[in-house]
Amino acid sequence: MRALVVMAVFCLLLAGPVAAQTVEKRQMAGRPVMIWLPKSSLRAPVVIFSHGWRGVNHQSAPLMRALARAGYVVVAPNHKDALFGTGIPPDPQVSFDEPTMWTADTYRDRAEDLASVWAALKSEYKNRVDPERLVLMGHSLGGYTAMGLSGAVPAWDSYGFKPRAVVCFSPFTTPYLAHGSLALRAPVMYQGGSEDDFITPPVARPDGTYARSSKPKVFVEFEGAVHTSWSVLDPDYEEPIEAYTLAFLDHFVKGKPLAPILRQRPAGVSDLRLEE
């Protein structure tokens, strides 16, 4: 199954980034980054996005554009394990099938990437970003990375991230279940898919990632979604992913009232949970 996912992501990357009105492609802190900027020149909340293993920084470009339209600065680096970047990505540092073997050093390079990019962004875009309103967001291994920098890997606390919110799309979380470290420093939203067989069940089960996470927390599962549904490979899910993500961020980052969408499960959503 994983081989099919890798091939699908490869096809995704061949397409390249979709043109956007407010996107910049550049080097920052030694990493290739994509930056989506809102039209307003006022200081804005920031989303740092971490792609999945063998993914790429523009894999979720439609959502990144939607976030920018909603007034967020979005920055997404290519990690060293990106399919396109510094060459052929290596095998996993530790097998995804052996979560008990993961330690604080596993994929620490990803944490270092985000810390370096965040420091550079605050310096180079200091008139555009509000460092007090930071969102850490990631897909798959990027979700693991975002959680780790938000308290799930205590050894990473030295990087100094203080997010206002955390958003994890189909996150790889079994190492956290194995080690019991799920006291996050910010409200968290988990998104999963009913057909995302390897990743979503550990998040959704009664004793799983969502159940063990600190409050406030939200879990939404999209009917029929698979692991790549948070990428341009699956445009059928763009609108609901955007709607739930923005409803969560508008409340916990911008202080708007909680939207009804976070309390009422419509058709197409197979599971929805909220605990404040």
- Provide the mean pLDDT of the chain: 91
d(CA 165, CA 134): 7
At 227 the three-state DSSP class reads helix
The alpha carbon of 263 is separated from its chain's Cα centroid by a whole number of angstroms, namely 22
Domain CATH number, residue 37: 3.40.50.1820
Q: What is the residue whose two structure tokens read 């790549």?
A: 228
Q: Are 136 and 156 in contact (CB under 8 A)?
A: no
Q: Three-state SS across 77-112?
A: ECCCCCCCCCCCCCCCCCCCCCHHHCCCCCCHHHHH
Tokens 């290596």 belong to which residue? 90
Range of the domain at 238: 2-275
Among the residue ranges 70-84, 92-106, 151-165, 192-206, the one predicted with the least confidence is 70-84
pLDDT for res 91: 86
Into how many domains does the chain fold? Answer: 1
Stretch 111-120: mean pLDDT: 98
What type of residue is 156? W
Percent of the chain whose pLDDT exceeds 70: 90
d(C-alpha 168, C-alpha 123), whole Å:
26
Quick: pLDDT tens for 66-107. Answer: 999 999 999 999 999 987 655 566 789 999 999 999 999 999
Write out the H or E segment, with its range, that includes residue 120.
helix 108-124
